[in-house]
Amino acid sequence: MNVADPHVIACVVAAVFGLLIGSFVGVVADRVPRKESIVRPSSHCTACAAPLRTIDNVPVVSYLLLRGRCHACGAHIPPRDLYVEVTTAVLFAAVAWPLPTFWAVPAYSLLAAGLVALSAIDLEHKLLPRPVLYVTAAVFSVLLVLASWPSHRLGHLLFALEGAAACFAVFLVIWFVAPKAMGFGDVRLAGLCGGALGWLGLGATAVGMFAGFLFACVPAVFLLARGKANRKTALAFGPYLALGTMVAVCFGRTIAHAWVNL
Ligand SMILES: [Zn+2]
């Protein structure tokens, strides 16, 4: 691997940027379910309310240096922030590599950040808050239009609409048939993921949805096997759909291509 390769430089820059955005994603994942403002007050310890020092705000590094404890009272800091920052950084680097056009990197990086926030909240609260989903969808749509123009892919916006409608419809049917198995938030999320995948093409859409269902099966089978769930247990489907979508965004065209050539 040549470190002067523009791809490598882009990935490193994207990862650092992802760490910074990941800090904000952590704030969203922490505060939105508690219906708190994501702007004020500034970051503080949830146990003793001591404000975080600048040195406590360095993504990942601060958590490791403080060994996951508040500098003032020693209360345990949830590791969620660490996972969220690292996941966002990895996804930003992964997105910067394979997209068909560089112009689409901001849109799909924003999508990654939104999906990380939604997944973190869904895993913890079994909830996909509408404000996070709508803001992600709105900003993503604007960025996608801005990416389509210079890259001569305006026609792909129609594919995005078709992908959104198709995936929304499939999940709507599942929700209608088995409303206990999945929340309506999953149906909305499927619309967002379908739109993002649709812009990349039919292959990416198929890979993303298939991967989402496949990933969701793993914990379901595990819980069923251990007798901790039955067929009526609600599972947080959002994170698996989000993961399947990001796998397809990064590797979808390669996977679809390999599949067709089998
Ligand atoms: Zn504290």
CA atoms within 13 A on the CB side of 154: 3
Peptide bond into 41 cis (omega under 30): yes
94-98, 111-115, 227-231: least confidently modelled range = 227-231
Q: Dihedral of CA 196/201/204/208: which sign?
A: positive
Average pLDDT over residues 137-146: 96
Q: Tell how far the Cα of 51 is from the centroid of ligand 1, in angstroms.
A: 8
- pLDDT for res 3: 63
Residue 57 alpha carbon to ligand 1 centre in Å: 14
Helices (H), 32-155: 61-65, 80-96, 105-125, 130-148
Residue 1: what pLDDT? 60
What is the distance in A from the centroid of ligand 1 to the CA of 82? Answer: 17
Q: How far is the CA of 120 from the centre of ligand 1 (A)?
A: 22
Percent of the chain past pLDDT 90, that is, above it, reads: 48
Asked if residues 108 and 99 have their Cβ atoms less than 8 Å apart, the reply is yes
Q: List CB-based neighbours of ion ligand 1 within 5 Å.
A: 45, 47-48, 50, 70, 72-73, 75
Interval between CA 131 and ligand 1 midpoint (Å): 29
Distance from residue 115's CA to the centre of ligand 1 (Å): 29
Q: Which two tokens stand for residue 186?
A: 């999953």
Average pLDDT on 105-134 reads 94
The amino acid sitting at 238 is G
Whether residue 214 contacts residue 237, with contact meaning beta carbons closer than 8 Å, is answered with no
Distance in Å, CA 41 to ligand 1 centroid: 15
- Expressed in angstroms and rounded, the spacing between residue 210 Cα and the centre of ligand 1 is 44
CA of 65 to the centre of ligand 1 (A): 15
Q: Is the pLDDT of residue 118 over 70?
A: yes
d(CA 22, CA 50) in angstroms, rounded, equals 22
Q: What is the pLDDT of residue 64?
A: 86
Q: How far is the CA of 91 from the centre of ligand 1 (A)?
A: 30
Tens digit of pLDDT for each residue in 1-26? 666 677 788 889 999 999 999 999 99
Rounded to the nearest angstrom, the distance between the alpha carbon of 168 and the centre of ligand 1 is: 43
Q: State the DSSP string of 130-153.
A: HHHHHHHHHHHHHHHHHHHTTTT-
